Amino acid sequence: MRGIFAAGVLDAFLEQDYRPYDFVLGVSAGASNLLSYLGNAPTRSYQVITELATSKQFYNPRRFVSGGYLVDVKWLYEESNRRFPLDQERVFNSVPFIAAATNVATGRPDYYEITPDNIAKAIEATASLPLAYKETPCFDGGCYTDGGVADSIPVREAYRRGARDITVILSHPLSYEMPKPKAGWLMKKLFAKHPNIGLALAKRAENYNDSLQFIKNPPKDCVVRVITPPEGFPVQRLTMKKALLDVGYEMGVKEGRSHVNHLTGKLEYRQEECHFC
């Protein structure tokens, strides 16, 4: 649900027809948000989150206790397309769209370009939360779980692909660092059948914080522009109250407008606003 912030940022970009990117790269909910951006569908991600992701068809603890899904990712994707159809031609005639998912066999991230042929499985795979979603989406010779397990912030992959002016939208305030798991051994035990996933989960905080360090100290030939929720961002992973989601969305819209206005010269950064000056 913290993806509501990025939904607001990207809607602000669409509002100002801001499309300067050579390619986009998303993980989990971030990949879903990018579909609406590439499809020029303002407010679609907001509607998906506030109307569908808050429903019992998607998130249902009782269903989980009885052996079903905690979150039904496939239903969310299919219902989103039924309720809020996208202009597929616009999506795929835009810039390349790359998503990340965690390979079940290796525990490492795989990055794949989303195409008309793989889009359904690809979006399902990148958001397939371990344990919470009991399917293991497979396509192109691999089987996958949530991309955030192995690479929550794929800024280093963007750099590896040649990007030297990178915009990162985070779902936590800039001060956040992911704490190390208190029971890494439990992750390994829960995923005994897929030991590399257990190992990836145990190392998730380390990988996440390494990405933050890259953002804060990028290579000399690279500029990283970071858009983050403000301190006090009220939305948590499982926030279901629409009033709080609305606040998070409006925070995203405000930060997205501010970002574009600063880059186009309509506003100048004050020192306290320029995170890495």
The per-residue pLDDT for range 223-239, each reduced to its tens digit, is 999 999 999 999 999 99
Question: In the chain, how many domains are there?
Answer: 1
At residue 267, does pLDDT exceed 90? no
Residue 276 located in a structural domain: no
Query: What one-letter code names the amino acid at 272?
Result: E
**Consecutive H or E run containing 198:** helix 195-202
The catalytic residues are 28, 146
Distance separating alpha carbons of residues 58 and 217, to the nearest angstrom: 38
Residue 105 located in a structural domain: yes
- C-beta separation of 248 from 235 below 8 A: yes
Residue 273 located in a structural domain: no
Residue 234 located in a structural domain: yes
Residue 35 located in a structural domain: yes
Residue 241 located in a structural domain: yes
Tens of pLDDT, residue by residue over 99-139, are 999 999 999 999 999 999 999 999 999 999 988 998 899 98
Range of the domain at 148: 2-264
Distance separating alpha carbons of residues 31 and 99, to the nearest angstrom: 6
Tens of pLDDT, residue by residue over 34-83, are 999 999 999 999 999 999 999 999 999 999 999 999 999 999 999 999 99
Q: How many residues does the chain have?
A: 277
Residue 136 located in a structural domain: yes
Residue 275 located in a structural domain: no
Distance separating alpha carbons of residues 118 and 104, to the nearest angstrom: 18
